[in-house]
Amino acid sequence: MKEKMYQYIIYSVLTIVACFSLFLLISDNVAPFTTQSTLYRAVANISPQVSGVITNVAVENGQKINKGELLFTIDPAPYALKVRQAQADLAQADQNYSAQTQQLVTANQLLKQRQLQSHNAAISLARFERLINKGLVTRQQFDDAQTQAAVAKSAYQGAKAEVLRIKALLNGKSNNAAVELAQVKLAQAQLDLTHTRVIAQTTGTITNLQLQVGSYINQGSPALFIVNENNVWLSADFNEKGMTQLQPQHLVYIAFDAIPGKVFTGEISSQDRAEFDAENPNNQLSSVTNDKHWIRELQKIRTRISVKDLDPALISGARASVMVQSNNPIINTIAQVWIKLVATFHYIY
């Protein structure tokens, strides 16, 4: 009796193992399964927009912060001096512009004077031409009148050219180029000064904080990271044989390594439509590799999965196993049993 019981137990175990083995062999086509799955949270890389010495660190590692809160401060003194220098340059440019404006007024007045002098000299020359024809003036007097008319005309042309030169500098605007350039430099200096206070642009949790007061940090260097706890997804790589099952809105079962015994549900939200080609990076010549194997490793398809009722304790980088739900009720029941077994096994490994 005992022997038959042992036989039944052995046969039952072997049957179950065989069924699960068969299921795993065909699961890629009917209910894709993968252990290559990682949880990700959106992470903001915080880098200062100016360089300088850190004078204050206002946060701690693991601290929850809100958008708009101060993270750390860079010594503002050098940037305050740049603002003062830019203000002085703008004042100088304004003074130069005002002087050029006054020069234009003076040049216009001189132009009118030269124009009248040239006009009077031209009338006088015409009078001398009539008189010399009648012999009433000497040739020397006529030549002097010609010279005076030419000099007056030349002075008028010079005054006219000076007016045009000053107008070109002013460019017909309320400010000239030098003033606008000084204004831009002042705005940039003021912006750099505000950037010495590094402010959080998103809500989240501080991580990888390694800042130290007194250390020098370069513009664009990673200073810390802010993890957005609300923007989270699961990235899973499946064999390409299950492509038809890896479509958006397909339900999945998830077992996280960090939470043994519990199965979560989720939904495929998207699928990557391209993979990196290691044999042809940056559109260069392909590197051909000779392979004598008859069976090659299957290509993976990366999918993004949204998880329902996710445990907030899970960190970004948490690993998981994922099984896609099947439309076949029998296959789906086996899939549920399998993912539950996987979740239970996490108590051990």
Q: What is the DSSP string of 109-152?
A: HHHHHHHHHHHHHHHHHHHHHHHHHTT-S-HHHHHHHHHHHHHH
pLDDT of residue 117: 76
| Structural tokens at position 214 | 């007194």
For residues 284 and 232, what is the distance between their CA atoms, to the nearest angstrom? Answer: 35
Closest CA to 33 of 235, 242, 234: 242
Place of tokens 């030349």: 154
For residues 312 and 258, what is the distance between their CA atoms, to the nearest angstrom? Answer: 12
For residues 93 and 99, what is the distance between their CA atoms, to the nearest angstrom? Answer: 10
pLDDT of residue 296: 66
Residue pLDDT, tens place only, 201-224: 889 999 888 888 999 999 988 889
- Three-point CA angle 283, 288, 291, nearest 5°: 145
pLDDT of residue 23: 62
Local structure of 310: helix, strand or coil: coil
pLDDT of residue 290: 64
pLDDT of residue 338: 82
Alpha helix (H) residue ranges in 60-209? 77-133, 139-170, 177-194
pLDDT of residue 179: 77
For residues 177 and 157, what is the distance between their CA atoms, to the nearest angstrom? Answer: 27
- Number of helices followed by number of strands (H, E) in the chain: 5, 12
At a CB cut-off of 8 Å and minimum separation 6, what does 261 contact?
Answer: 343, 344, 346, 347
At a CB cut-off of 8 Å and minimum separation 6, what does 97 contact?
Answer: 170, 175, 176, 178, 179
| Structural tokens at position 218 | 């370069």
Closest CA to 236 of 226, 228, 246, 250: 246
pLDDT of residue 238: 87
For residues 245 and 331, what is the distance between their CA atoms, to the nearest angstrom? Answer: 13
List, for the chain, all residue ranges whose pLDDT scores fall below the cut of 50. none
| Structural tokens at position 75 | 């010594």
